[in-house]
Amino acid sequence: MAIPAWFTEDRFGMFIHWGLYALPARHEWVKNRERITDEDYDRYFRHFEPDLFDPREWARSAKRAGMKYMVLTTKHHDGFCLWDSKLTDYTSMNTPIGKDLVAEFVEAVRAEGLRAGFYHSLIDWHHPDFVVDGLHPRRDDPPEEIKRLNEGRDMARYRAYLHGQVEELLTGYGTIDYLFYDFSYKDDDHHDVWNGKGKEEWGSEELLALTRGLQPEIIVNDRLAIPGDLVTPEQYQPDRPMEVDGQPVVWEACQTLNGSWGYDRDNLNVKPVDLLVRMLVDGVSKNGNMLLNVGPTGRGDFDATALATLEGIGAWMSRHQRSIYGAGPSPHRAPVDTRYTQRGNRLYLHLFTWPFGHVHLPDLAGKVEYAQFLHDASEIKYREIDPSIKAQNTGLGGQPPGTLTLSLPVVRPDVAVPVVEL
Ligand code: H79
């Protein structure tokens, strides 16, 4: 089945990781990493009161950055639910904020003209029937401790809960455009995990059928351990258009601002704007999307660094979106430190470093009608070497026939990534 066209046209979305872990503010895996007991973690539940939560403001920030869709964590691995689920008490309704945050999110995102998606964790560290995992050196039986923790736990009951909650989310909130399930870990990459989980544990076939039955147009990711609509490299850029079994596939890289998905107060490893723009461009040049994450604070707003980063990306997008929306890879070969994207007969040359006056484009002589910078529509002059001539000594640095050479200004334009439109 073909994926809805909006997804590969829009190219750029916002991921939002938000939940109780915004309060400790040191990574969304904090409960697991620091072996925090349920009792201690419950303090975040009792103090969750995001009084500055304003999803219209989130959506406006996303829109200004050039993002076209937004994906919110309805539930992360800690099991805390951001909507009014009837299947558990462990929801935002029972915290001091006392609101269905998913409902407000979906309404706000739509009101700003963006598409709304959900992230939903398959893993659940809170549900009493979720069989506990463990790391182990390879051996035959789980350690006694893991066996003891799992007495009375029943994944069949957890599956019913998982499917029931997805049904709530896909029936109670109108059209949902996208679903990111997260994640399966029962394969060669995870051979050191006791009780690793995959399609049997999640009931993946049934869950995917339920998802599509309730939302026929929805786009579903690939982490149910069965094929989905797209593949989702996490925090890495593939080196070419992605393929599965030799066939091109739709893909989307999910990326963080600083290596953490949840709000991480003391993390100073923030990616600069020009790097994030290069990552977006790199993805589109390889036929991929980017889902860029923000982790809102415990008060419900975006921190100053996230806001400044989004503004910076937006400043670039407002002048360069023509090279992103509806664009994809080009059959032409891009010079080193550049990326091509192409839409129809327009070719976009993205310059990741600044050249020494010239940039040589192989095989484009005779094919270009006009060249300009995208940010200010200023003409870029160029010379061409007739593809039919034999001579090698052309006076243009020995470039081969067929080369088109752009003459670029000495001073690099003051934009994150300069783009020449051909
Ligand atoms: O939600 C964000 C992350 O929290 C989640 N996916 C993004 C979108 C994610 N975190 N980690 N991972 C995905 C992969 C991590 C795998 C491991 Fe493990 C965690 C390897 C070791 C610890 C789970 C437990 C798999 C093996 C043992």
Does the pLDDT value for residue 392 go beyond 70?
A: no
Are 172 and 39 in the same domain?
A: yes
Give the percent of the chain with pLDDT over 90.
91
Separation of alpha carbons 230 and 246, rounded Å:
15
Q: What is the DSSP letter of 270?
A: P
pLDDT at 309: 98
- C-alpha separations of 252 from 11, 55, 275, 414 in Å: 8, 24, 17, 29
**Cβ–Cβ under 8 Å, residues 403 and 349:** no
Question: Where does a domain end: 278, 297, 323?
Answer: 323
pLDDT at 139: 72
| Mutation test residue for ligand 1: of 30, 185, 221, 257, the one with most atoms within 8 Å of CB | 185
For ligand 1, atom 27: residue with the closest CA: 193
- C-alpha separations of 97 from 52, 69, 105, 412 in Å: 10, 26, 14, 49
Q: Which atom of ligand 1 is nearest to the CA of 183?
A: 13
| Mutation test residue for ligand 1: of 224, 234, 263, 294, the one with most atoms within 8 Å of CB | 234
pLDDT per residue as tens digits for the range 66-116: 999 999 999 999 999 999 999 999 999 999 999 999 999 999 999 999 999
252 CB within 6 A, ligand 1: no
Length reported for the chain: 422
Report the C-alpha dihedral over residues 353, 354, 360, 365, rounded to 10 degrees: 100
ipTM: 0.95
CATH code assigned at 271 = 3.20.20.80
Q: What are phi and psi of 304, to 5 degrees?
A: -60, -35
pLDDT at 219: 98
254 CB within 6 A, ligand 1: yes
408 CB within 6 A, ligand 1: no
**Cβ–Cβ under 8 Å, residues 418 and 351:** yes
The domain in which residue 403 lies consists of 330-422
Chain centroid to CA 180: 10
Are 297 and 374 in the same domain?
A: no
Are 338 and 297 in the same domain?
A: no
**Cβ–Cβ under 8 Å, residues 191 and 138:** yes
Are 289 and 374 in the same domain?
A: no
Are 172 and 303 in the same domain?
A: yes
How are beta strands 193-194 and 134-135 bridged, if at all? antiparallel
18 CB within 6 A, ligand 1: no
264 CB within 6 A, ligand 1: no
182 CB within 6 A, ligand 1: yes
DSSP 122-182: S--SS-TTSPPPEE-SS-SS--HHHHHHTTT--HHHHHHHHHHHHHHHHHSSS---EEEEE
pLDDT at 1: 58
Are 135 and 245 in the same domain?
A: yes
**246 contact partners, CB below 8 Å, separation of at least 6:** none
pLDDT at 355: 86
At 235, list the tokens.
């925090």
Are 105 and 254 in the same domain?
A: yes
202 CB within 6 A, ligand 1: no
Q: Say how many C-beta atoms besides its own lie within 10 A of residue 259's C-beta.
A: 13
For ligand 1, atom 11: residue with the closest CA: 29
In total, how many domains does the chain have? 2
Q: Which atom of ligand 1 is nearest to the CA of 135?
A: 27
